[in-house]
Amino acid sequence: MAPESELIRRIAPFALPVAVIAFATGTLIGGTDAGLSAAIAIAVVTLNFVAHGWSLALAAQISPMILYAVGLGGFVVRLGVIVAVIALLQQTEWFSIAAFIAALVPCTVALLVVEMKMLSGRMQADLWTVPTGPPGAPR
């Protein structure tokens, strides 16, 4: 199994409980709108992580150059998606940018820490299997 897929498999089950905690905390501090905004932030972080993992796992099967392009370009695209989600949600009356950011930032940092801990002691490049021949050639 690709390391990215393994990370997704291990981390994804925590998304719903963390979203519930974010909703409850946001609701207690700022009301239902803040709670909903915080829960949406957790969903955005989770979907962002899953998209990142799947795209890297797929790119690693193609070539190192594609892997690099997806890793670098995907970062920019994923940041753009977060900005677009914020811009769209700010058009609504109920959205709380403060609650959204207050949930998004710590969740992202915690996710990165868990990811680093899971991969510590292993070189990321050693975890990928990259085909050496042309596409469709036997391995």
Measured CA to CA, the distance from residue 80 to residue 120 in angstroms comes to 29
Q: Is residue 88 part of a domain?
A: yes
Q: Is residue 101 part of a domain?
A: yes
pLDDT tens column, 23-59: 999 999 999 999 999 999 999 999 999 999 899 889 9
- Give the mean model confidence (pLDDT) for residues 86-98: 95
Q: Is residue 57 part of a domain?
A: yes
Our count of domains for the chain comes to: 1
Q: Is residue 139 part of a domain?
A: no
Q: Is residue 129 part of a domain?
A: no
pTM score: 0.80
Q: Is residue 130 part of a domain?
A: no
What residue has token string 């002691």?
121
Say whether 134 sits in a helix, a strand or coil: coil
Position 114 confidence tier, pLDDT thresholds 50, 70, 90: confident
Structure tokens given for 5: 């897929």
Q: Is residue 134 part of a domain?
A: no
pLDDT of res. 95: 95
Measured CA to CA, the distance from residue 81 to residue 72 in angstroms comes to 15
Residue 133 has pLDDT above 80, yes or no: no
Identify the domain containing residue 24 by its residue range: 3-113
pLDDT of res. 1: 67
